Amino acid sequence: MSWSARIESALAARHAAGAFRSRQALSRPDARWLESAGQRWLNFAGNDYLGLSHHPAVISAWQQGAAAHGVGSTASSHVTGFNPAQAALEHALADWLGYPRALLFLSGFAANQAVITALMGKDDRVLADKLAHASLLEASALCPAQLRRFSHNSVASLAQRLQSPVSGETLIVTEGVFSMDGDSAPLADLHALSQQAGSWLLVDDAHGIGVLGEGGRGSCWQQGVRPELLIVTFGKAFGLSGAAILCSDAVADYLLQFARHLIYSTAMPPAQALALHRALQCVQQGDALRAQLHSNIAFFQQQLRQHGWTPPVSTTPIQPIIVGDNARTLALAARLRDRGYWVGAIRPPTVPPGTARLRITLSAAHTQADIRGLVEALSDAGE
């Protein structure tokens, strides 16, 4: 098959499955509104759970940082790209989350790829939750170690996987809050099992950090667990982008030698590190925002019940409505858009076949009227 035939046939298959993806340019997205070409929608698709993406203090930290330090970091962190703003942010994150060290990355995707490819050798194995994020599963599939998946949130299934022998080390990989389902992993049980087996546990808490636990410290803090490796990302509740790996001194030093995504990539601009540091303070002082968010989640579920729907089991800002069929999911999302509500239509392969869904996300920035309107629209569109 020629290159063009191969690409045409892949695109045709996506179209035929109702799984073709395209993007729409949206101006000024914030936690509440999206705009495009003079139209606007209430945003129930983003991950700006606390509304920090437009926080004046964070914006001004970025602006002042750019004025003082320029817009770029000029090189990777091993060359000239590491600076006091990043060092201070790493210290603050480590302190806050109770780890010896934190290392900054440009994205959660890069952090996950880096840590897994740097750690895993050919005799090792990754045991990953079936629903773990693409960045975790892809890294696990591409690294030389073997990858086995365990049933979603099943301690028994993990225990069974752990029974088969391996000559090297085992890394157990899961998420604090699952990105497409909004449910939480049983971290205490997973970690106990991991420790028993002499394995390490990696928790990607992209959707728990800032939202759950005392002071927004996330899923692990909430469940009283300190995994060997914790990944936090800044594209969700922090409202910016970037990520950090929290770990021991030895692992941090190891990653500084072997994490290629850190060594061979231009470091985070200092202005972004300053803005992130300010966002971290907003998160730390964000109890009122979290209370608003959790009351919005409860209100959404109560509204669903009032309309005769069974709410999702999730108690987090991710509230999926499973539809099943791709075309129906797209049609529902389109009808909601016509009524002024933007929700994500998530289809395979992002989610398992037959579980296409509306991924509704809530933010502290939403009002009760926004949420009531969404559920009414959902109820009308569903009929």
Ligand X SMILES: *Cc1c(COP(=O)(O)O)cnc(C)c1O
Site for ligand X, rule CB under 6 A: 107-109, 112, 133, 135, 175, 179, 204, 206-207, 233, 235, 241, 243
For residue 1, how many other CB atoms are within 10 A of its CB? 8
User: Minimum Å distance from CB 136 to ligand X?
Assistant: 7
User: Minimum Å distance from CB 316 to ligand X?
Assistant: 12
**Catalytic annotation present for 204:** yes
CA–CA dist 366, 29 (Å, integer): 14
**Catalytic annotation present for 228:** no
Output the CA torsion sign for 158, 114, 140, 241: positive
**142 Cβ contact partners less than 8 Å away, ≥ 6 residues apart:** 117
In the complex with ligand X, the residue whose CB is nearer, 204 or 228, is 204
Q: Which residue is nearest to ligand X (CB)?
A: 108
**Catalytic annotation present for 47:** yes
Active-site pick, 47, 73, 83, 219? 47
In the complex with ligand X, the residue whose CB is nearer, 81 or 317, is 317
Active-site pick, 48, 129, 181, 204? 204
Active-site pick, 55, 191, 207, 261? 207
User: Minimum Å distance from CB 250 to ligand X?
Assistant: 24
User: Minimum Å distance from CB 223 to ligand X?
Assistant: 17
**Residue among 314, 299, 302, 317 at smallest CA distance from 370:** 299
In the complex with ligand X, the residue whose CB is nearer, 34 or 180, is 180
Residues 208 and 218 sit within 8 Å (Cβ to Cβ): yes
**Catalytic annotation present for 130:** no
Q: How far, in Å, are 20, 173, 192 from residue 348 at the CA level?
A: 10, 21, 33
**Residue among 306, 133, 303 at smallest CA distance from 205:** 133
**360 Cβ contact partners less than 8 Å away, ≥ 6 residues apart:** 44, 45, 300, 318, 319, 320, 321, 343, 344, 374
In the complex with ligand X, the residue whose CB is nearer, 183 or 204, is 204
Active-site amino acid positions: 47, 133, 175, 179, 204, 207, 236
